[in-house]
């Protein structure tokens, strides 16, 4: 099997028109914050038990085709000694891996950020692949302000994403390209649309420059929403702005757009995805790659208690099912039927 064949097989498994991706790749600091909110200490054992519970949720593979893992999780085993990635594979869920090393200020561009992690990426990818990872994820973030993102910020972040994606494809690992326009702030939905278009245009220009095969990537963008300090927009408005901006910037060759939730609540993220798919005129699969919007209800239900694992798993699978329905544009119909 050639590298292209290998990459295509991964794309075919991830993009099937009915399933999305679970993001369970929280860094140590992020998962500590999530655990703290439900009164838990972020110990290695606690993180292992939580992620083992997620990955062994019966029926999750009906609605989730891939899971993005943190490096720690890729090497952990459950209490029975089964490697955690194998729990996912047993349900038909492909393991993936977060490969960036976090972000920091971008010198020369006050207010902009840039992500680290290109050093040693080839060697790490080979190790992760040997441990079962079939795809990878790299996140760049774009704060929105009066002067941000700057031209330098746009160029630098696009260059990092393109270099990462090119390295992944050379190693037979499908890259998820994640340019996240942050919701923080009081910017309008029109401003959000303009920034997202700038970001996506710069990213695809860089991907083309680096010879990245667009048919063999996944895009994980923000939805176009107002800043978090403003009242939220209706799902139909989010869908119209998002799809219009995507059509202006994202080539049809990209097989799937798996949206991040980016601070949206679980129901809000699902409602917006449903509205996008109800428009039904996109050249790409419109799917999800949610972290908190899938996990938060399950984490709250679990709370670190062994006797609550089954309930947490039920909640996770139900939330995944709702997003599966949103991919079909049928989430609202289901809610009305239940009412």
Q: What are phi and psi of 113, to 5 degrees?
A: -125, 165
Residues 20-45: tens digit of each pLDDT: 999 999 999 999 999 999 999 999 99
Residues 290-318: tens digit of each pLDDT: 999 999 999 999 999 999 999 999 999 99
**pLDDT confidence band for 336 (50 / 70 / 90):** low
Q: What are phi and psi of 289, to 5 degrees?
A: -140, 70
Residue 99 in contact with residue 136, Cβ under 8 Å? yes
Residues 97-119: tens digit of each pLDDT: 999 999 999 999 999 999 999 99
Token pair in block for residue 322: 């709702």
Q: For residue 261, give its domain range.
A: 3-338
The structural domain count of the chain equals: 1
Token pair in block for residue 213: 């095969």
| CATH number for the domain harbouring residue 7 | 3.20.20.70
Residues 208-238: tens digit of each pLDDT: 999 999 999 999 999 999 999 999 999 999 9
| CA–CA separation, 269 and 260 (whole Å) | 9
Which residues does the annotation mark as catalytic? 178, 220
């Amino acid at each position: 099997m050639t590298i292209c064949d290998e990459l295509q097989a991964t794309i075919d498994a991830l993009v099937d028109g009915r399933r999305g991706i679970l993001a369970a790749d929280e860094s140590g600091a992020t998962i500590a914050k999530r655990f703290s909110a439900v009164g838990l200490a972020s110990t290695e054992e606690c993180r292992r038990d939580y992620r083992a519970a997620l990955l062994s949720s019966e029926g999750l593979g009906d609605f989730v085709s891939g899971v993005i893992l943190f490096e720690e999780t890729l090497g952990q085993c459950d209490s029975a000694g089964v490697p955690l990635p194998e729990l996912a594979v047993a349900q038909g869920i492909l393991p993936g891996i977060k490969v960036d090393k976090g972000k920091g200020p971008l010198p020369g561009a006050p207010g902009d950020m840039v992500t680290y992690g290109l050093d040693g990426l080839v060697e790490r990818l080979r190790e992760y692949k040997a441990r079962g990872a079939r795809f990878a994820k790299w996140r760049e973030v774009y704060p929105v302000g009066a002067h941000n993102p700057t031209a330098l910020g746009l160029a630098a972040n696009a260059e990092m994403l393109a270099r990462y994606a090119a390295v992944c494809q050379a190693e037979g690992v499908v890259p998820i390209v994640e340019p996240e326009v942050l919701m923080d702030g009081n910017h309008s939905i029109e401003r959000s649309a303009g920034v997202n278009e700038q970001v996506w245009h710069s990213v695809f220009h860089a991907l083309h420059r680096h010879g990245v095969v667009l048919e063999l990537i996944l895009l994980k963008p923000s939805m176009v929403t107002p800043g978090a300090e403003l009242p939220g927009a209706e799902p139909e408005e989010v869908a119209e702005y998002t799809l219009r901006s995507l059509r202006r910037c994202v080539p049809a060759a990209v097989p799937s757009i798996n949206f991040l939730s980016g601070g949206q609540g679980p129901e809000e993220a699902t409602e917006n995805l449903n509205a996008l798919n109800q428009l039904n005129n996109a050249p790409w699969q419109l799917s999800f790659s949610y972290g908190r919007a899938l996990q938060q209800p399950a984490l709250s239900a679990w709370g670190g208690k062994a006797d609550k694992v089954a309930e947490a798993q039920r909640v996770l699978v139900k939330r995944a099912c709702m997003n599966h329905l949103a991919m079909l544009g049928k989430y609202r119909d289901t809610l009305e039927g239940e009412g």
